[in-house]
Amino acid sequence: MPVRTTMVTAEVGLHARAAAVFVRAVIDSGQPVTIAKPGHPAVDARSLLAVMSQDYECGCAVELATPDEGDTAAAAEALDSLVRLLSSQSGKLKDPAGQE
Which of the residues are catalytic? 15
Report the candidate in 17, 8, 24, 2 with the shortest Cα–Cα distance to residue 58: 8
Q: What is the C-alpha R_g of the chain?
A: 12
Cα–Cα distance for residue pair 8/28, rounded to 1 Å: 19
